[in-house]
Structure 1
């Protein structure tokens, strides 16, 4: 079910009465996001510096360093942050009266809005405390496994998720198969690698697949891999924690039956927000969590048991979606890729700087990692990240896991000015010389 833009707007309009209360604490109009310039393509908007300076003005960030490590989570814009503060006050003032009353109706409206944004049915969405919780519930709850079967993941998948896949080895008595994403990771090379893995391991029943991985930022061709897996009767759990809000897609464009999402990364909601998706006709493949009786087994919400949550986070999701939609996902993706391309293109002539994502536009967003040739250990790359911070006040982070060794991850944000990525590019020339092997 792919929703047209007109259908999405109509659906959101139908939700307006229920969402009004959730937005009651919204920020003053002066803090609203400026609209993108009219009549410009996303590529043109991405280069409109006056517009992005207005966007940057909607964030409060430290000026003590250049932050190019936004891959951990995405900070709230000021409108969202102030809404969150108001919701904390509301929760504190109303206490269990809110939890037992208005919150139930408001959270259901928020669930509906998230589903509509994604192009899914409300019955296919359950709110969670994070992408990690969503994915761990999907992986641990997948029950169509037994001795003699195997599960599979790649070296670039997220550690908490691969740990949960490993746990299935003991829990379900299955074998765990791992493989490496090649470098350079072109689209065809990635597709060929997955095709080969499926052929070589016919007992695999479940695959973990990262849409955008947190180590190098590679965006995999999910739809094609899911289709190949289906031909081999392999179910796929997609980790979309880093992709929704960074890349432009709907759920049907992924083609997957099971997906975990974060709302506190690229949507910019408060920490502690995410959701899982289970295609309606596949709900029975995932176990009810801990024999939950708060919802019937036919309700996807029985697959998540989070206890008493910080509902101020959830109540602030509509504000984050408003901010996201006012910019537009096409413009967001174009801007993030533009920032990435600017520093990458500036160091392409440096012979010992290795860029670990390809230049194919469908294969990356904001996140891209680099490696100094020969510097492959965690210690090497931690030292490089430390040097960048100590010498240039540029904050990045070391990542391990790629087949050819550790690397340094660079992640700009919507409010990152060009001067910050330019400072990184200049610093990398020094790094290349200082750390040359």
Structure 2
């Protein structure tokens, strides 16, 4: 995911030097990069999954855009802002490997996914749709609503645990074959519950061969994993940019391959005959300053490089997992298989699968060791605790977590 590092902010150079950031990444000087983030010192922050932190130069760019939008208001909005936003959209599309007419801004991945699920118009009564236990709660609810909205049968499956790449492919293939009336499937690229990474391109290929459209939730994978949209082989994708890309809160995107835009109805507030992807989402007045900051966030990440960022996030995850995975009392839910995880990983104490057990476990980590994590519910096998390091994290943070877990079980 690369952008032109000469991207400008309001006619001036971006407020950071890409060279030092790139040099730090190339030399594995992750402490230098971590210092670009102002992390709370109240706790060891290992819950970066809710939303991402802006690096200092991105925050500076956002402040500058806020000041301009606040100062110039409609004088800017009606004279130059539309063109600037189109430039931002083109920058994002290029970074994602998409055409500009295939991308539109949303306020978050949920807004994008709701449009893709609820405005998908190829369903008729008697058809079926499919989703899994690891999919995001709001997306599961949106899928369930299709029973009333479209008169379809809604099928929910549980993903295998422990999972392998092949077992996931086999699980979806078996579900498709057992239910030949399935017309649409929800796929989550990287689960917010456990961090499990699905082999999306393979599953999409299987689905397409059976006449099934895949709607892909890439809320956590964009920026956490090193890929571009064509790698997913998917026609419909919802994304967040305020998680792992580090843009300001309130920025996401929707992708629809140009040949498939007609499969998604325009938003009810838009003209029903429109073929423009921009009409598939209607948000009213968004945070324009946040959208205008996207190039700064992309440029910061590009200076690091997608492959290096992915490797660093996986290394942080591996640092604590390898210290506890052999403990008989600890159950690490995310596979060790290469390519099946990023930064996010979930664990629990063996046999402790209830909501209360894992709320208590997260609370013990915070109260006794000042380590902040979060419990997650919704897995078919029970609840867990999610651990999410980020570029702002240090290896010492992960060592502290591993030591805390060992202390809790010995």
Q: 1:363: which partner in 2?
A: 340
Q: 1:220: which partner in 2?
A: 198
- Deviation of 1:361 after TM superposition, in Å, equals 1.7
- Deviation of 1:300 after TM superposition, in Å, equals 0.6
- Deviation of 1:25 after TM superposition, in Å, equals 7.8
Q: 1:260: which partner in 2?
A: 238
- Deviation of 1:101 after TM superposition, in Å, equals 2.2
Provide Cα deviations, 1:61-112, integer angstroms capped at 9, x if missing partner: 1111000000111110000111111111111101112222221001101111
Q: How many residues align?
A: 410
In 1, Cα distance between the equivalents of 2:139 and 2:23?
37
In 1, Cα distance between the equivalents of 2:78 and 2:51?
30
Distance change (3 Å), C-alpha of 1:231 and 1:28: closer
1:162 pairs, out of 140, 144, 150, with: 140
In 1, Cα distance between the equivalents of 2:32 and 2:207?
44
Structure 2 residue 35 is the aligned partner of structure 1 residue 35: no
In 1, Cα distance between the equivalents of 2:239 and 2:23?
26
What residue ranges of structure 1 are gaps of 5+ in the alignment? none
C-alpha contact 2:8 2:14 (8 A) present in aligned 1: no
Structure 2 residue 5 is the aligned partner of structure 1 residue 20: no
Q: 1:287: which partner in 2?
A: 265
Distance change (3 Å), C-alpha of 1:156 and 1:298: same
What residue ranges of structure 2 are gaps of 5+ in the alignment? none
2:296 pairs, out of 319, 324, 337, with: 319
Distance change (3 Å), C-alpha of 1:430 and 1:240: same
C-alpha contact 1:223 1:256 (8 A) present in aligned 2: yes
In 2, Cα distance between the equivalents of 1:33 and 1:93?
33
Structure 2 residue 113 is the aligned partner of structure 1 residue 135: yes
- Deviation of 1:34 after TM superposition, in Å, equals 2.0
In 2, Cα distance between the equivalents of 1:291 and 1:420?
47
Q: SS of 2:334's equivalent?
A: coil
Provide Cα deviations, 1:350-387, integer angstroms capped at 9, x if missing partner: 10111111111210000000011111011110000000
C-alpha contact 1:183 1:356 (8 A) present in aligned 2: yes
What is the TM-score when the length of structure 1 is the normalising length? Answer: 0.90
Provide Cα deviations, 1:371-428, integer angstroms capped at 9, x if missing partner: 1111101111000000000000000000012221100000001121111000000000
Q: SS of 1:101's equivalent?
A: helix
1:374 pairs, out of 323, 347, 351, with: 351
1:411 pairs, out of 378, 381, 388, with: 388
Summarize the alignment of residues 76-225 of structure 1 with structure 2, pairs less than 5 Å apart.
Answer: 76-225=54-203
C-alpha contact 1:246 1:333 (8 A) present in aligned 2: yes
C-alpha contact 1:155 1:180 (8 A) present in aligned 2: yes
What is the TM-score when the length of structure 2 is the normalising length? Answer: 0.96
